[in-house]
Amino acid sequence: MVIVGLTGSIGMGKSETARMFRELGVRVYDADAAVHRIYEAGGPAVAPLEAAFPGVSDENGVNRDELSKHVLNNPDAMKKLETIVHPLVAQEQINFLRDAAAAGEAIVVVDVPLLYETGGEARVDCVVVVSAPYELQKQRVLERPGMTAEKFDAILAKQVPDAEKRARADFIIESDKGLDAAFAQVKALLPKLKACRAQVWAQTEARLRAAEKET
């Protein structure tokens, strides 16, 4: 099973590209959706985050605004947050991959916004980067409710530059020519992605099986 990493900076069209893969019958893991699930009431992140940051949860689960107050501009608190959340999100991804492998999927896409920033490229077989010119990216982002130029710049400062992502990518989807053109690129890319050498899941499966035998 080939694992494709899908990534791209804010406003590049990554979410639309993920939707296109789904339309073509490819299973897609959404890292942002996984975080929402573990933050929901009864989710596995709620109790440990409440213990670490008292007052961040309510009847609906983790309150992101309250959590942000604890970790904003606080590297130690952010590290504590990541120590709790990252293993839970990783388990969500493992569960997704196991289900896909059991279903006999030839290819899956993992949609991870900060793939390069978190070293996630080591956990996929190939990487697709969604990209567009800076001015179009900025225009798209500033059209979002509540977004400002200052917020946009702050978000970009935390992301690997688009030029570097393009240089490191195995494949690039150019999203500046409209949805139809982007869909045509994704459709044309599928056979190439299926031809990628599948190594990551085979290695992960072997490690999981070994760990299960020890328990």
- Model pLDDT for residues 70-88, shown as the tens digit of each residue: 887 788 998 899 899 988 9
Query: What is the Cα–Cα distance from 65 to 86, expressed in whole angstroms?
Result: 19
Cα–Cα nearest to 46, from 32, 29, 67: 67
Question: Which pTM was predicted?
Answer: 0.85
Is 60 exceeded by the pLDDT of residue 127?
yes
Three-class secondary structure of residue 174 per DSSP: strand
What is each CA distance from 199 to 85, 133, 140, 148, 202, in whole angstroms?
26, 33, 36, 42, 6
78-87, Cβ contacts within 8 angstroms, sequence gap of 24 or more: 80/52, 80/53, 81/49, 81/52, 81/53, 84/45, 84/48, 84/49, 84/52, 85/35, 85/38, 85/45, 85/49, 86/118
Q: All domains of the chain, ordered by start, with CATH?
A: 2-32+96-214 (3.40.50.300)
For the segment 103-108, the average pLDDT, to the nearest whole number, is: 95
Please state, in angstroms and rounded to a whole number, the distance separating the CA atoms of residues 115 and 111: 8
Q: Where are the beta strands (DSSP E) in 31-90?
A: 57-58, 61-62
pLDDT in tens, 155-189: 898 899 999 999 999 999 999 999 999 999 999 99
What is the C-alpha separation between 146 and 144, in angstroms, rounded?
Answer: 6
CB-neighbour burial class of residue 43 (10 A; exposed 0-12, middle 13-18, buried 19+): middle
- Percent share of the chain, pLDDT over 90: 73
Scan for tokens 């893991």, then name that residue: 29
- pLDDT for the residue 212: 66
